[in-house]
C-alpha cells in the first residue's frame, strides 16, 4: 500500500508540474518526472525510516520549488508527499523531534514559494481565468495548512497509541496481580490443609506409638502421602513464577472432583468419619473442578482444626448447569473455638465462588455443627456435557 501511495503521489507531482493552472514548467519533461519520483517514491519506506524519508522529501520539494519544477497555483501537490512523511514522523517521534520536523517542513516552502513567484514575476493579473489564485500567499497558506494538519493528525495518532499501550501495560499488571492472588490462595489451601492433617496424624502417632504400632504406621503413611502431594502442588504453583527459559518439570494435572476420594481417605481416622457423595460431578470443567476441590479441602481442614467433630458429610452434586456443594459436620466446639466465617480460608472460598457468580453460605447448623454450602453455575461445553 505504501508503494502504491508513493507512486500515485509521484505521478501527481509530475503532472501538476507539467500542466499547472499558472505558467507551465518550460524545461524537459523528464526533469518533471524525475523530480516527481524523487519527492514521491521515498514514501514507500517511510514507516521504516520516518525521519530520513522526511528529510529527503523536504529537501527535494524545496529544491524543486526554488528551481521552478513545480506547478504554480498547485504547489501543495508537490508538498503532499512531505505532508504524508511529516505525519509518519510525527506519529513515530517524540515531542522534540516532531516539533523540529514541523519547523523544518514549514521553513522550506516559506523560504522558496515567495521567492519563486517573485523570480518568475507571477501575479494574479497574469492569469485571470485560472482555477486557483496565482499569488504566493495562497500557495504558501495552502501548503502550510496541509503540513500542519498532517503533523497534528500524526501527534494525535501517537497520543492514542501511547494511551493504548498504557492500558495494555495496566491490563498486564492487573493480570499478574490476579495470578499472584490466585497463587496465594492456592498455597494457603495446600499448606493449611496439608500441615493441619500432618499435625493431627503426627499427634495421633505420638500418642499410640507404643500401644498400637499398626495405627502408628498408618498415620505415618498418611503423613508421607500428604507431604508428597503438597510438595507436588507447591512446585506446580511456583513453576508459574519461573522464567520462560527455565525447564518445566513434569507435573500432575490440577486437582479436581476425581481427587476428592483420595482427599477424604487421607482424612479418615478413628476420631473422624468422612462420608463422600458425588452425583454427576465426573465431567466438570477443569476450573470448576479445581474450585470444588479447594472448597472441600478448605472446609475439611477447618473441621480438623476447629470442629472437634466425629462425622462429616461431603456432598457434590452437579446438574442443570450448576454444581451444589455441601460440607456438614457435627462439631461440638464451634462456639468455644471461636470459629467464624471471617477466616482467610473462608474468605478465599467466597472469592472462588463469587468469581463464577455463585453463592456461599457458611455458619452454625441449628441442630449443631457447622455447614458450608456453595452453589456455582457453569456453562457445560461439548467436552463436559
CA–CA distance from 175 to each of 150, 238, 242, 289 (Å)?
37, 17, 16, 22
- Whether 196 is in a domain gets the answer no
Instruction: Indicate which CATH number applies to the domain containing 289.
Output: 3.30.565.10
> 41 and 163: one domain?
yes
Q: CB–CB of 162/63 below 8 Å?
A: no
> What pLDDT digit, counting tens, does each position of 331-355 carry?
775 444 444 444 556 777 887 788 7
Give the chain's residues under pLDDT 50.
Answer: 243-250, 270, 334-342, 382-385
- Residue 183's pLDDT is 67
How many domains does one find in the chain?
A: 2
- The residue from 112, 137, 170 where one domain ends is 170
- Residue 335's pLDDT is 45
- Whether 200 is in a domain gets the answer no
- Whether 180 is in a domain gets the answer no
CA–CA distance, 116 with 298 (Å, rounded to integer):
85
CA–CA distance, 33 with 197 (Å, rounded to integer):
87
- Whether 186 is in a domain gets the answer no
- Residue 235's pLDDT is 66
Please tell me the pTM assigned to this model.
0.49
| Cell (9 digits) for 348 | 478465599
- Categorise residue 320: left if φ over 0, alpha if ψ from -120 to 50, beta otherwise: left
- Residue 243's pLDDT is 46
- Residue 383's pLDDT is 42
Q: What is the extent of the structural domain holding 164? A: 2-170
Amino acid at each position: 500500500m505504501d508503494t502504491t501511495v508513493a507512486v500515485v503521489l509521484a505521478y501527481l507531482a509530475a503532472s501538476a508540474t507539467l500542466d499547472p493552472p499558472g505558467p507551465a514548467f518550460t524545461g524537459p519533461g523528464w526533469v518533471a518526472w524525475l523530480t516527481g519520483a524523487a519527492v514521491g517514491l521515498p514514501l514507500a519506506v517511510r514507516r521504516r525510516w520516518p525521519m530520513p524519508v522526511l528529510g529527503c522529501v523536504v529537501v527535494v520539494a524545496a529544491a524543486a520549488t526554488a528551481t521552478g519544477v513545480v506547478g504554480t497555483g498547485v504547489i501543495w501537490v508537490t508538498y503532499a508527499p512531505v505532508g504524508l512523511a511529516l505525519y509518519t514522523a510525527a506519529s513515530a517521534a517524540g515531542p522534540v523531534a516532531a516539533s523540529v520536523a514541523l519547523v523544518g517542513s514549514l521553513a522550506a516552502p516559506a523560504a522558496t514559494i515567495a521567492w519563486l513567484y517573485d523570480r518568475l514575476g507571477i501575479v494574479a493579473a497574469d492569469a485571470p481565468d485560472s482555477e486557483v489564485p496565482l499569488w504566493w500567499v495562497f500557495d504558501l497558506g495552502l501548503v502550510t495548512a496541509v503540513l500542519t494538519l498532517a503533523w497534528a493528525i500524526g501527534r494525535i495518532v501517537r497520543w492514542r497509541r501511547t494511551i493504548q499501550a498504557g492500558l495494555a501495560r495496566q491490563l498486564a499488571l492487573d493480570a499478574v496481580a490476579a495470578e499472584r492472588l490466585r497463587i496465594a490462595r492456592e498455597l494457603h489451601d495446600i499448606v493449611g490443609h496439608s500441615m493441619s492433617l500432618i499435625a493431627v496424624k503426627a499427634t495421633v502417632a505420638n500418642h499410640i506409638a507404643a500401644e498400637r504400632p499398626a495405627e502408628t504406621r498408618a498415620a505415618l503413611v498418611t503423613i508421607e502421602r500428604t507431604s508428597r502431594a503438597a510438595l507436588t502442588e507447591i512446585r506446580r504453583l511456583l513453576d508459574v513464577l519461573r522464567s520462560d527459559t527455565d525447564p518445566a518439570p513434569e507435573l500432575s494435572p490440577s486437582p479436581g472432583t476425581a481427587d476428592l476420594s483420595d482427599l477424604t481417605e487421607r482424612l479418615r481416622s478413628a476420631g473422624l468419619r468422612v462420608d463422600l457423595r458425588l452425583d454427576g460431578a465426573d465431567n466438570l470443567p477443569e476450573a470448576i473442578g479445581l474450585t470444588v476441590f479447594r472448597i472441600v479441602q478448605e472446609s475439611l481442614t477447618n473441621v480438623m482444626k476447629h470442629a472437634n467433630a466425629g462425622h462429616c458429610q461431603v456432598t457434590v452434586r452437579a446438574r442443570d448447569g450448576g454444581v451444589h456443594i455441601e460440607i456438614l459436620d457435627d462439631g461440638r466446639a464451634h462456639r468455644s473455638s471461636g470459629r467464624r466465617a471471617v477466616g482467610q480460608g473462608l474468605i478465599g472460598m467466597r472469592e472462588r465462588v463469587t468469581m463464577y457468580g455463585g453463592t456461599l453460605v457458611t455458619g452454625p447448623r441449628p441442630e449443631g455443627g457447622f455447614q458450608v454450602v456453595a452453589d456455582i453455575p457453569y456453562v457445560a461445553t461439548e467436552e463436559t456435557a
